Amino acid sequence: MLSIALSELIQIFRNRLVLVTSLIIPVVVSAFFIYQHEAFATLGSLGYIAAILVFTVAAFGLYTTTVTTLAARRQNLFLKRLRSTAAGDAGILTGLLLPITVITLVQVAVLLTVFAAVTGEPADVPLLVAAVLSAVIMMLGLGLATAGLTNSPEHAQVTTLPVSIGTIAVASWVGVTGTEELAALKRLLPGGSATELAVNAWNGGVPVADSLILLAPTLAWVVVAVALASRLFRWEPRR
């Protein structure tokens, strides 16, 4: 698994397109939100900006790279060759996705640290960590499911748009309008409950027990995504 992860890490830094579109651009966009935090905070709150930072990196970095990577490795038969080795299916997928997952977590940690240095520390750091991890796991699951519908890296530019843009839209909707109205709908949409959890963790003022319940919808999306991935994912190119 570690040898696969190391090889994939090298490929990420060699592929300039992936490096720019999936790693650099999300950070640049996030830096803009931090720089203009006073203006964006008037729309929602500082917690809203924190949630947007998380989902900008998770959606446009982690999710799109996951789909593109798996589609590319399937197309060039690398996945098929890996299955002929001693590595199991779980080990192969973990090795391929570990580098981008670690990079995403580092990016989010650095961005939130900078944001905290500029605006002040979050009210509940452990709760914020839970929000970040739940969002990352959800986007990984959705990436595996989407990869099952993606025939090539070029095709990934189309198949990733609904989820990546959709989760950012949901995060903005929940972050700006809150959950006083249409709470059930907002929390059940992918990214909705994770956004509310991040907002609560940063702003404070909500009992921890009430916030932890918000993990349930996000984890439910993980279960749905994994179930879809198990049915849709292919190890060889579609004929």
Q: Residues 186-198: pLDDT tens digits?
A: 999 999 999 999 9
CA distance 96 to 76: 14
pLDDT digits (tens, 9 = 90+) for 154-188: 888 899 999 999 999 999 999 999 888 898 999 99
What are the angstrom distances between the C-alpha of 37 and each of 43, 109, 114? 10, 17, 12
Q: Give the pLDDT confidence score for residue 212 in this predicted structure.
A: 86
- The 10 Å Cβ neighbour count of residue 49 is 26
Nearest-angstrom CA–CA distance, 123 and 120? 9
Helical (H) or strand (E) element with 77: none
Per-domain residue ranges of the chain: 2-232
